[in-house]
Structure 1
Amino acid sequence: MTNTTTEQARDRMPSAERLRRPAVTRSLRLGDTKVTYVPDGAVELSARGWFPRSTDEDWAAHPEYLDDSGNLAAGIGPLLVEHGDRALLIDAGFGPQSIPAQPGNPRGAIHGGALLDNLAALGRPPATIEAVAITHLHLDHIGWAWHPAPDPAPDRDLPAFAGRDLLVAAPEWAHRHLLAARGITDDILRAMAPQVRTVLDGDEIFPGVHVLLTPGHTAGHASYVITGGGERLIAFGDAMHSPVQVDHPEWSAAADLDPDRAAQERRRLVAELARPGTIGFGVHFADVVFGRVHLDGDGPAWRPVAD
């Protein structure tokens, strides 16, 4: 079961403070399995721009989600899953690059590059990772899967996770041509292709880790369900970008390929997350990446849990 200290920690810091900053490294245990959010970088999201169905009145009622610049603070980084000596990554961060905010773009400034140092601090350099499971083929989830590692060795042009399987849902890979508008170039896809192994809904890809297809954000977006110690954790990628969507699943993101399907999948996810013994992992959920969905008279709400 999740450590009792994990449950107690959720109220040690005001949630509003944590909602306004990107996440730091955080871990919890599911029996013999340890999961750790590993930061790579961060991105700013325009509240109204990122959620076009929201209104100024909505955000006036939810000021706790907005940072000092009036944006949503979101982290970028993978989930490290460790079981015994084995390790899996879910997603691969943004990589060693940065893009400034651009007028009219609902996505503000974005940067990455910290992943390899943070993995090394955890004793998990890329050579110890057996595979990288990709939720979807957007730049902030595949960065280190194609960027060369910063290494002075002769093979420095190889990606950081060269030689490791890149697990991609079959419908996501089949529809990769739809991602050109999101900056996924042929060169990026060619760099990844030799390592890609497609997976299907329900496949077990690592001890206690199963694929759960949640399309809408992209054609083949995948979540991953991790079970252990009598509990389960759903790592839902970009099916949700902010904990405010737990209470507002109808708020599709500007980047959702199919906004209506994405909203349908969010409603299904919220219902699953509200079941007993279930924890969620929202990679972009500011500094409340691990949480549970609680139901009360005001509707579902995200309650953070952390180490």
Structure 2
Amino acid sequence: MTSDVTAPALPHWTVGDITVHRIDEIPLPPETGPWLLPDATADVVGQQPWLRPDFAGHEGVLHLDSHSFAFVVGSLRVLVDTGIGNGKTRANPAWHDLHTDYLQRLTDAGFPPDSVDLVVLTHLHTDHVGWNTRQAGGAWVPTFPNARYVTSRAEREFWAGYAMDEARRQMFRDSVHPVEDAGLLDLVDIADGGTEVAPGLRLLSAPGHTPGHLAVQVTSHDETALITGDLIHHPVQLPHPHIGSCVDIDPDQAEASRRALLASVADTDTLVLGTHFPEPTAGRVVSHGDAYRLTPVPPTHRPLAQ
């Protein structure tokens, strides 16, 4: 599948001294929403007019994207999640054999692959690990050869004992095992309250979508951003935290994690960055009735150098 989507500029947000860049891969097709969040029906979406036009169409179709976030904390150049990847054999036709300019966008944002120090994987699903590797000499090799790839120990150990279908085994063969074989994957135990992996960078346990799923907190000068991973796929889940994904391993635990996270950031200055939220991608969670809504915070778009 070839994508002709081009980013007109480099979207980013400022969190204290940290600039968080969104690295776009592809918009996901309209049929993704009904498959991924089947309870987010057109009627449910229509009850939240603030979702339109950015987060949903007037016909109630959800808008979803695939992207990563990149930033510098201290001296570390960090990438959170690596999308779907190019040239991969995938069962989902929207993810199969992509040819995007993701690496060029990452480089344009100031993060050429050889410069990345730390890759944080919120979980080991196909659309979050794809650019872990690239093809070279007929083999899959780590895209970020100088980086430490990090995920939770609970996440990796769960999949080690899981009866995978062939599609998931293929994903591990081309996007996880080469990183492990190169000695680049580090497993982190997540403490209550989170584990700091660098000053200003904390991994938070947010299980349910997968058993070891993480959210990522970035702090600088009393300003905080939170990257959701797949704890929240779409802003429609703010007014309806009970709405879960069709691929949640433990739907009840995912809902409990989602409610806890939303309660912790509601009516604060925390900038929430959705891993699959379309433009404007980020916002602040505010109380709304007995649940929440998102007040968008659009990115600044720095023009590409000519």
* C-alpha separation in 1, matches of 2:35 and 2:142: 33
The CA distance in 2 between the partners of 1:148 and 1:245, in whole Å, is 37
For the structure 1 residues 227 and 23, does the alpha-carbon distance in structure 2 shift closer, same or farther, using more than 3 Å as the test? farther
Any unmatched runs of 5+ in structure 2?
Answer: 1-6, 301-306
Q: 1:146 aligns with which of 133, 141, 155?
A: 133
How high is the TM-score relative to the length of structure 2?
Answer: 0.80
Contact 1:34–1:83 (CA<8 Å) still a contact in 2? no
Select which of 57, 61, 68 maps to 1:78: 68
List, as ranges, runs of 4+ consecutive aligned residues in structure 1 with deviation greater than 6 Å. none
1:29 CA displacement: 1.5
Find the aligned partners of 2:15 and 2:204 in 1 and give their Cα distance.
18
Does residue 244 (structure 1) correspond to residue 236 (structure 2)? The answer is yes
- Checking the alignment, whether the CA contact within 8 Å between 1:172 and 1:221 is kept in structure 2 is yes
Measured at CA, do residues 299 and 87 of structure 1 come closer, stay the same or move farther in structure 2, by a change above 3 Å? same
Alignment match of 2:23 (pick from 28, 34, 38): 38
Indicate if the aligned counterparts of 2:21 and 2:109 stay in contact, CA closer than 8 A: no
Asked whether the equivalents of residues 46 and 60 of structure 2 are also in contact (C-alpha less than 8 Å), the reply is no
TM-score (norm 1): 0.80
Q: Report what 2:94 is aligned to.
A: 109
The structure 1 residue matched to 2:33, chosen from 47, 68, 72, is 47
Moved more, 67-76 or 111-120: 67-76
Cα distance change on mapping 1:254 and 1:285 into 2, 3 Å: same
Asked if 1 retains the 8 angstrom alpha-carbon contact of 2:217 and 2:227, the reply is yes
- Contact 2:40/2:236 (<8 A) preserved: no
Q: Deviations over 1:154-183 (max 9, x none)?
A: 798522112421101110011123383462
Query: Which segment is superposed worse, 133-142 or 272-281?
Result: 272-281
- 1:209-224 alignment, distance < 5 Å: 209-224=201-216
CA distance in 2, matches of 1:171, 1:31: 31
The CA deviation string for residues 129-148 of structure 1, in whole angstroms up to 9 with x for no partner, is: 10101001011111111232
Superposed CA deviations along residues 5-34 of structure 1, whole A, max 9, x for unmatched, are xxxxxxxxxxxxxxxxx9974211122211
Query: Any idea what the Cα deviations from partners look like across 1:196-219, whole Å, max 9, x if unmatched?
Result: 101122222223001101011111
Partner of 1:180: 164
Whether contact under 8 Å (1:216, 1:261) holds in the other structure is: yes
Kept after mapping to 1: 8 A contact 2:79/2:120:
yes
In 2, Cα distance between equivalents of 1:145 and 1:98: 12
Between 119-128 and 24-33, report the one with greater CA deviation: 24-33
Q: 1:286 to 1:184 in 2, by over 3 A?
A: farther
Aligned length: 277
CA contact (8 A) 1:94 1:112 kept: no
Q: Distance in 2 between matches of 1:229 and 1:155?
A: 46
Higher helix proportion (structure 1 or 2): 1
Return the alpha-carbon distance in structure 2 between the equivalents of residues 57 and 69 of structure 1: 9
2:153 is aligned with 1:167: no
Which of 185, 192, 197 aligns to 1:196? It is 185
Equivalent residue letter for 1:117: Q
Q: Could you list the runs of 5+ residues in structure 1 that have no partner in the other structure?
A: 1-21
Match of 2:198 in 1: 206
Q: Find the counterpart in structure 2 of residue 26 from structure 1.
A: 11
State the alpha-carbon separation in 2 of the partners of residues 25 and 255 from structure 1. Answer: 31
Structure 1 stretch 51-60 or stretch 157-166: which is displaced more?
51-60
8 Å Cα contact 2:33/2:63 also seen in 1: no
Alignment check: 8 A CA contact 2:84 2:127 kept? yes
